[in-house]
Structure 1
C-alpha cells in the first residue's frame, strides 16, 4: 500500500503538532506518524513564556488556557540557604509575562487534538522503519500497531520525533554532543506540601549541597503534584542505590530544601532514567527533510529550553516549507539552521555557565549590576533569539564579565 501526502511529519509532540497545524492552515495535506498512543509520559514540563507565542500562532491558546495547567511566572534557584528568583514580568525583551507548568501527557494531547480538529491527519502507534530521500520525493516505510506495513511519499519530511531521533538514526546524521555525558533520574510525586512551603508559580532549581554540578528540579503542577528530578554524571549516580526510586529518595534526603518541602510526599509513580541525553547532528536539514527540536539537538534540562527550541523550529520550518512548496527557492541553511542555532547557542552558553559555576555566582550574588537581571531574565523566559539583548548577542563575554563583577 502506498499513500501520498504533501508533507509527512514524524512525531505528534509539540513540534509535530505546531508544524502540522501551521502547514494545514496554509492549505497543505499533512500526515503525522506517531509511534506512541497519546496521552503518554514525557518530561520537559516547565514551559518558557516564548512557547506560548507559537501555541498562539497555531491557534491553540484557548484550548491550552481551558486545560487548567499550573500558572508559571518565573524561575527560582536554591543553593543551601541562598535563594534567588526571576519574575518574567521583569525582563528586557517585550513578550509574555507568564506561562504554564504542565504534565506533558495532558499538554501534548491538547496540542495534538487541536491539530486534528484543524484537519491534520495523525496516525498513532505507527513506527517509521525506513526512509529513502534519494528520489525526487522522500518516502518513508511505516508499520502500524497491527503490523500492517505501508509506504508514504511526500513532497517534504519533517522529523519531530524528539528523543526518538528517527531521521538522525536512519540517515546517519548523529554526531557526539560536546557536553559531558549526564543522566537524569526523575518521577512524579503527590508533594503534600503546605500552601506556603514554596512558590508554586515558579520552577525550583536546587543545587546539591556538596556538588555544585549536581542539581534537582521541582516543577509544581496544578493538582498538588510535582515533577521531581536530579541531573548528574553517571559516575556520581553509580555511588547511589541502583533502584531508581531509592536513588532519588537518598539524593533528596541530602538536600535540606527538598527534605522540608517533600516531607509528606507520596511516592506513587515509578522513577525513570534518561541516560546520555545530550545530542547533536551533522546538519539540521538535507534533501527533502528538516529536523525539528530534540530530533536535531538537545542541550540540557536546566533552563527548560527544549520545548521552546522545538516550537520555534516548528514555526520557522512551516513558514519556509510553505514558501518552498509554492515554488520559491528556500535556503534552509541561511533561513533555518543558522538563525535557529543562534538561539540554541545562547542557551548553550548559559548551560555551560551553569555547570562551570559562573551562572550560579551571578544568581546568588548579594549585589548584581543594574539592568543585568532583566537581560538574563529574557533568556530564562525563552527569548534567546533577541539580538538587541547584549546577553544574547555576546553571551559568553557578558557572562564572564558579570560573573567576575559578582565575585569581586
Structure 2
C-alpha cells in the first residue's frame, strides 16, 4: 500500500516561483512541501533579471539570500543593429521602484533562492516526479515517484504548480492550448568572454539584430566572473539553414553581426551548445479546484525582454497571500484576484514581444530623437513594470506602440508632448 503524507501547501518545482511562494508561506508558519524533479544546482537560462524582481524578492524574504552573491550589476539594456546602437537606462523610467537588478548564473541564483525558502522552514525534496494529480477544492493530492521507484501520495490543502517548462498540471489537467506566438528556437551557451572593448557596458544586457533578418536576434549577458551567456533566437528553419550543426549555426550567426563578432572574437565556450525550441506556451486557466499555476508552468512568451523570472516572481507574490487567506477559511475568487491581473501584465509583455518581431519596437528603440517622457514609459515596461496602469504603454500598449513607431518612421520632427499624436 502506498504511503499517504500530508502538508498544508504542496509546491511542484523549486525554481524562482516555487522558491518565492515557499519562502513567503513557510515564513508565515505554514507547512510547505516542495517537490523538485531535478537536483540543484542545475543549469538554466533566463539569466538577465528585471528591476521589478527586486521588490518581489524582498516581499518573499529572499533578498538576504542573494544580495551578497556578487552578481553582475544591471541597469538597463543596450541594442545594436549594424552601425546603430541604443541604450535604455532602467533608472530613467516612468514608474517608481528599483531601477537596477542583476545578471545571474541561474544555477547559483536558483540554489540560493531555494536555500532561502528552506531557511524559512519549507521542506524541499529533490528527485521527486509528480505522476498524477487529483484536483479537489479541499484536499487535492499528488501521486509521486522518487528516484528509487517508490510511489507515494501527498495530500495537501492547496497545490501550487511552479514546474516551469515541465508544465506538470497543464499536462495532467489537459489545460494546454496553442501559443499565439510563432514557433522559435534558441541556441545558447556560456563563454569566458575575454571582452576588453572600452565601449562595452557590462551593466547592460546587449541585444543585437541580424543585419538582414530582423526576426533573428542575439543576446550577450555578462556575468561578474568574466563569463557571459550568449545566444541567438529565430525561426527554426532559418537557423537550421545556416550550417549543419547547432555549434556551427550559433557561431556563424554571431560572426554575421559586427558588434557581436568583435566583442566575442576571443570568447572560449565553457559548456556545450544547447537548443531550446517550441518554448512559447499558453494555458486555458491558471487555477482550478485546490490549485494555481505559477510562472512558466502556465504561460511563457519569449526570451527577448527577459520577462520570464519577473512573471514567475509576480505570480508567486500574487498567489501566496491568496493561498493563506483560503486556508484561513476565506472564499477566494482566483479568476479575478489572481489570474486576471497576472494576465494583464503578461499581455503587456506580449504586445512588446509582438512589436519587437514586427519591427515597430525596433524602430522606436533605435530612433534617436525621442522625447524623454516617452522613452521613460518604454523603459518602465522593459524594466518589468508591466502592471503599472498609470503608464500609457501598459494601458493600451499595442495601439500606442504602433502610433509611436509610425511617428518615429516619419522622422519629421522630434517626438515631444506637443506632437506625439498618441491615441486616447
Aligned to 1:159: 161
CA distance in 2 between partners of 1:61 and 1:261 (Å) = 33
Tell me, yes or no, if the aligned pair for 1:165 and 1:294 is still in contact at 8 Å: yes
Taking the aligned partners of 2:225 and 2:197, their CA distance within structure 1 comes to 12
Whether the aligned pair in 2 keeps the contact of 1:293 and 1:306 (CA below 8 Å) is yes
Deviations 1:48-102 (A, max 9, x none): 0011111111112122111111100000011111011111110000000210000
**What residue number does 1:302 align with?**
304
Contact 1:7 1:157 in 2 (8 A): yes
* 1:180 aligns with one of 182, 194, 213: 182
Provide the secondary structure at the position in 2 that maps to 1:211.
coil
Instruction: Give distance in 2, aligned partners of 1:4 and 1:267.
Output: 46
User: Contact conserved, 1:174 with 1:282, CA < 8 A, in 2?
Assistant: yes
- Following TM superposition, the consecutive aligned residue runs of length 4 or more in structure 1 with deviations greater than 6 angstroms are none
Could you tell me which residue of structure 2 aligns to residue 192 of structure 1?
A: 194
Equivalences, count: 408
CA apart distance, 1:135: 7.3
1:293-339 CA distance string (max 9 Å, x none)? 00110000000001000000000000111111101110000000000
Aligned partner of residue 268 in structure 2, secondary structure: coil
User: Which whole-Å deviations, capped at 9, do the CAs of 1:164-220 have from their partners, x for residues lacking one?
Assistant: 101111110100000000011110011111052510000000001110110001000
Which structure 2 residues correspond to residues 4-403 of structure 1 after superposition, within 5 A?
4-134=6-136, 136-194=138-196, 196-403=198-405
Which ranges in structure 1 are unaligned for 5 or more consecutive residues?
none
Structure 2 unaligned segments of length 5 or more: list them.
Answer: 411-424
Tell me the distance in 1 between the aligned counterparts of 2:167 and 2:380: 29
Q: Report if the CA contact (8 A) 1:39-1:106 is conserved.
A: yes
Equivalent pair of 2:24/2:60 in contact (CA under 8 Å): yes
Structure 1: distance between partners of 2:136 and 2:21: 24
How far, CA to CA, are the matches of 1:195 and 1:66 in structure 2?
28
Q: TM-score, normalised by structure 2?
A: 0.95
Q: TM-score normalized by structure 1?
A: 0.98
Q: Distance in 1 between matches of 2:237 and 2:279?
A: 15
Structure 1 residues 245 and 400: CA distance shift in structure 2, 3 A? same
Per-residue deviation, 1:240: 2.1
Deviation, 1:134, is 4.8
Rounded to whole Å, the distance in 2 between the matches of 1:256 and 1:336 is 45
Q: Alpha carbon RMSD of aligned pairs, Å?
A: 1.0
Measured in 2, the distance between the counterparts of 1:195 and 1:221 equals 16
